[in-house]
Amino acid sequence: MAIYKRILLKISGESLMGEKQYGIDETRLGEYAAQIKEIADMGVQIGIVIGGGNIFRGLSGASKGFDRVKGDQMGMLATVINSLALSSALESLGMKTRVLTAIRMEPIGEFYSKAKAIESMERGEVAIFSAGTGNPFFTTDTGSSLRAIEIEADVMLKGTRVDGIYTADPEKDPTATKFDEITYDEIYIRGLKVMDLTATTMCKENKMPIYVFDMDTVGNLKKVMSGEKIGTLVKL
Ligand SMILES: Nc1ncnc2c1ncn2[C@@H]1O[C@H](COP(=O)(O)OP(=O)(O)OP(=O)(O)O)[C@@H](O)[C@H]1O
Ligand SMILES: O=c1ccn([C@@H]2O[C@H](COP(=O)(O)O)[C@@H](O)[C@H]2O)c(=O)[nH]1
């Protein structure tokens, strides 16, 4: 039995690189797809946002002289590439998906609406929300919180390469310790950078719980859906 009926799952674009330096690692993509199928088989309604950091980020483009808005548009297109890859991987496992884009680009995907998203999820299709919010100066974390709130998800799951929220970035500080639970306010007070603050604030204001967990370990998504406390819960 799954503990959540409807989820918004944010997948890190950067993690999709696996061992590579750039782009999509097919093994990692296949592992993600298999994990998603496992929870779909539990009857969970699934909406997904995937980042674009494995391909392009507007901010890093700007630091190399790109116009920020164009760079962000390139980043949003990167999320569309990843969404199509995930859609294809899920469909190769016999699942149905619907790629919804925040910017009109038919026939690559359908223009997003809440009604289309809910219709798909209720039919058992995986709704994949691409191109973030459709606006520059945002991230897919914010796109995830926006979609989670819109589709009335029970939780926003942030699947990443660390196993939760720590007192400091665990990839940089080996003495950092992990929280099992934390409040939104504590994230601000401690200046923790696991998610951008716009996304955190949207979730706080709309009472959307966030669960951060390590999605790169196969089987973890099912553990989260089964109620195993393997990550960090962010709540009021
Ligand atoms: N206090 C903290 N606790 C946990 N992780 C932290 C913390 N501070 C920074 N991080 C970092 O946050 C990162 C979150 O990773 P993730 O790849 O999901 O980021 P992202 O920018 O949302 O990805 P993408 O843009 O590729 O989708 C991890 O790399 C982790 O090292
Ligand atoms: O709403 C959005 C979402 C994303 N972007 C741009 O895309 C890249 C990739 O997204 P990540 O969240 O970093 O994975 C991001 O760096 C932005 O440049 C955007 O402009 N608006």
150 Cα–ligand 1 center, Å: 24
Question: Residues near 5 by Cβ (< 8 Å), separated by ≥ 6?
Answer: 44, 45, 154
The domain of 113 spans: 6-235
Query: Does residue 166's CB lie within 6 angstroms of at least one atom of ligand 1?
Result: yes
Q: How many domains does the chain have?
A: 1
72 Cα–ligand 2 center, Å: 6
Does residue 234 contact residue 182 with C-beta atoms inside 8 Å? yes
Question: What local confidence, expressed as pLDDT, does residue 236 receive?
Answer: 93
Rounded distance, CA 49 to CA 36, Å? 13
Closest ligand 2 atom, CA of 58? Answer: 18
Alpha carbon distances (Å) from 230 to 21, 155, 163, 226: 28, 15, 7, 11
Question: What local confidence, expressed as pLDDT, does residue 1 receive?
Answer: 87
The preferred substitution site among 193, 197, 200, 232 for testing ligand 1, maximizing ligand atoms within 8 Å of CB, is: 193
Question: What local confidence, expressed as pLDDT, does residue 62 receive?
Answer: 85
The verdict on residue 19 lying in a domain is yes
The verdict on residue 67 lying in a domain is yes
106 Cα–ligand 1 center, Å: 32
The verdict on residue 113 lying in a domain is yes
Nearest of 193, 225, 188, 233 to residue 209 by alpha carbon: 233
The verdict on residue 1 lying in a domain is no
Does residue 211 contact residue 194 with C-beta atoms inside 8 Å? no
Give the tens place of pLDDT for each residue, 87-97: 999 999 999 99
Q: Pick out the chain residues at pLDDT < 70.
A: none
Give the tens place of pLDDT for each residue, 130-173: 999 999 999 999 999 999 999 999 999 999 999 999 999 999 99
**Start-to-end CA span in the chain (Å):** 26
The verdict on residue 41 lying in a domain is yes
ipTM: 0.96
CATH number, domain at 167?
3.40.1160.10
Does residue 132 contact residue 114 with C-beta atoms inside 8 Å? no
Q: Give the 3-state secondary structure of residue 51.
A: coil
Query: No. of H helices and E strands in the chain?
Result: 8, 9
Question: What local confidence, expressed as pLDDT, does residue 61 receive?
Answer: 83
